[in-house]
Amino acid sequence: MTTPPDAIAALDEADPLAPMRALFDLPEGLVYLDGNSLGVLPRGVSERVARVINDEWRQGLISSWGGGWIDLPTSVGAAIARLIGATSEEVVVGDSTSVNLFKCLAAALRLRPERRVILTEADNFPTDNYISQGLSDLLGGYQIRYVAAGDDPAAALGDDVAVLSLTHVNYRTAAVHDMQRMTAAAHDVGALAVWDMSHSTGALPIDLNLAGADFAVGCTYKYLNGGPGAPAFCFAAQSLLDEVRQPLSGWMGHMDPFAFGPDYEPAPAARRFLCGTPQILSLGALSAALELWTEVDMVAVRRKSLALSDLFIGLVDEFAEEHGLEIVTPRQHEQRGSHVSIRAANGHAVMRALAERGVIGDFRAPDLMRFGFTPLYTSFTDIWRAAMALRDVFESRAWHDERFAQRLRVT
């Protein structure tokens, strides 16, 4: 890998978060800018999972359920609660973001029985809209109202809206919603606000309770580094917890699962959002991955994230026009999440050529190249190397190689 100029090396030297990189097991020589999709393995996680398998499962067997496994959805929830401005009562971990969204949307609709509209965005992450569609098919009589990309969802609110369902940071563009303003606008018309925090948890300072959010869900395998398919979190505001009911009324969300009673009675607090048996191996990995966050200052994370994306945008600006590239991520800090997306007609082939040069980002159809910045382990040198490699792929026309013409199954 090429040596960066002194000015870039100086940014890394002055970076207060730089020592955290050593807490991650990053493959040697790789510039990894896809932690917004799958976070890097934190050190200590493999050992923890090995302990869960060898000690707790192999030796402890069934006794390990009573020895702590049963509480993992709430104890891991409490560790996440600190990062999202929630109380430990309000958060549980289990299932996927898609499933938790189903539970939250259904719970919210049930709290507004006289209303029939789910208001969301056309360019939401697809699963969010698929879940709304599936739920409205199941229930019948609901309308999903889509706001076009760039339009203000608050302007589409009316007194027929039961739920405003938004993603805090857009997965394509990284555009950020003002959560407090949107939630207040939803409440003003009597609607509830459900937030998908997948691209903001661990990337931006978040205060769900300050924003007045009613429900929230989010992935833990991105910025929280919980591992592939790590279980998602689910938040419901304290003020709703006594009355709220979710439809996946499995035994783990029951008040007393081991009473084996005939009828469902919801557990207190957010535990009622659990459904079936917790995913212990994944929760073990996630709980170990979360340990490094106890010392992290989210304001410092945000400051570095913006500095990284500013640097990247500035470097790409130098050759963007010449190669027909358009940076679609907002340039204003308050409107930008922690990734940068660039529109390029042959983006998929470019990302494959870039990967061959040891720079990993991803591609979102039809034409977006996406680069994620994870301040705990991304360096300014990484950013410089990625921008230089990108420029080289265009200048050398490396992406023209027919090896890159075929779309991969997973992009």
206 vs 232 by CB, closer to ligand PLP? 232
Shortest distance (Å) from residue 304 CB to ligand PLP: 22
Nearest distance, CB of residue 217 and ligand PLP, angstroms = 8
Backbone region of residue 227 per phi and psi (left: phi > 0; alpha: psi in -120 to 50; beta: other values): left
Q: Looking at 112-120, 194-202, 257-265, 370-378, which segment touches ligand PLP (CB under 6 A)? A: 194-202
Which residues lie below 8 Å from residue 269, measured CB to CB, with a gap of 6+? 89, 90, 241
* Residue 125 among the catalytic residues: yes
Q: Which residues contact 54 (CB under 8 A, 6 or more apart)?
A: none
- For residue 396, the Cα-to-chain-centroid distance in whole angstroms is 35
Is there binding between residue 56 and ligand PLP (CB under 6 A)?
A: no
Residue carrying structure tokens 């382990």: 377
Q: Which parts of 218-257 interact with ligand PLP (CB under 6 A)?
A: 219, 232
Beta bridge partners of 165: 194
Residue from 167, 305, 329, 341 that binds ligand PLP (CB under 6 A)? Answer: 167
Stretch that binds ligand PLP, among 38-46, 63-71, 195-203, 291-299 (CB under 6 A): 195-203
Give Cα 207 to chain centroid, integer Å: 15
Based on the residue annotation, tell me whether 222 is a catalytic residue of this protein: yes
Query: What is the rounded CA–CA span in Å between residue 162 and residue 154?
Result: 13
Binning the chain into helix, strand and coil, the percentages to the nearest 5 are 45, 15, 40
What is the smallest separation between the CB atom of 171 and ligand PLP, expressed in angstroms?
Answer: 4
> Which entry of 24, 102, 125, 377 is annotated as an active-site residue?
125
DSSP 3-state of 286: helix
CA 290 to chain centre: 14
Least distance in Å: CB of 232 to ligand PLP? 5
Rounded to a whole number of angstroms, the minimum distance from the CB of residue 128 to ligand PLP is 6
317 is catalytic: no
Q: Which two tokens stand for residue 375?
A: 């301040």
> Applying CB under 6 A, which of residues 64, 75, 127, 249 lies at the interface with ligand PLP?
127
Of the candidate residues 172, 199, 304, 352, the single one contacting ligand PLP (CB under 6 A)? 199
Report how many residues bind ligand PLP under the rule CB under 6 A.
13
- C-beta of 318: minimal distance to ligand PLP in Å? 30
> Nearer to ligand PLP by C-beta: 121 or 128?
128
Site string for ligand PLP, 69-98 (x = CB under 6 A): ---------------------------xxx
Contact 90, 270 (CB under 8 A): yes
Q: Which residue has the tokens 């991304």?
A: 378
From the CB of 396, what's the least distance to ligand PLP, in Å?
32
Query: What is the longest distance spanned by two Cα atoms in the chain?
Result: 69
Residue for token pair 């400051």:
303
**Phi–psi pair at 215, nearest 5 degrees:** -140, 155
**What b/e sequence results for 23-42 when a residue is b if at least 16 CB atoms lie within 10 Å of its CB, and e otherwise?**
bbebeeeebbbbbbbbbbbb
Out of 32, 370, 371, 377, the active site residue is 370
Segment interacting with ligand PLP (CB under 6 A) among 123-131, 239-247, 366-374, 375-383: 123-131
Site for ligand PLP contains 123 (CB under 6 A)? no
* Phi, psi dihedral angles at 91 (to 5 degrees): -130, 135
Determine which one of 222, 272, 336, 352 is catalytic.
Answer: 222
**Do the Cβ atoms of 378 and 347 come closer than 8 Å?**
no
Q: What is the sign of the dihedral through the CA atoms of 38, 41, 46 and 52?
A: negative
Nearer to ligand PLP, 229 or 257 (CB): 229
Q: Name the catalytic one among 34, 196, 214, 362.
A: 196
| Closest CB to ligand PLP among residues 97, 120 | 97
Task: Using DSSP, state whether 216 is helix, strand or coil.
Answer: strand
- Token couple for 347: 């983006």
Beta carbon of residue 308, minimum distance to ligand PLP (angstroms, whole number): 20
| Closest CB to ligand PLP among residues 7, 410 | 410
> Any catalytic annotation for residue 370?
yes
Task: Identify whether 196 is a catalytic site residue.
Answer: yes
Instruction: Identify residues 255-294 at the interface with ligand PLP (CB under 6 A).
Output: none
- Report how far apart, in Å, the C-alpha atoms of 158 and of each of 108, 116, 186 are: 16, 11, 9
Q: Does 216 bind ligand PLP (CB under 6 A)?
A: no
Residues near ligand PLP, by CB under 6 A: 96-98, 125, 127-128, 167, 171, 196, 198-199, 219, 232
Catalytic residues: 125, 196, 221-222, 370
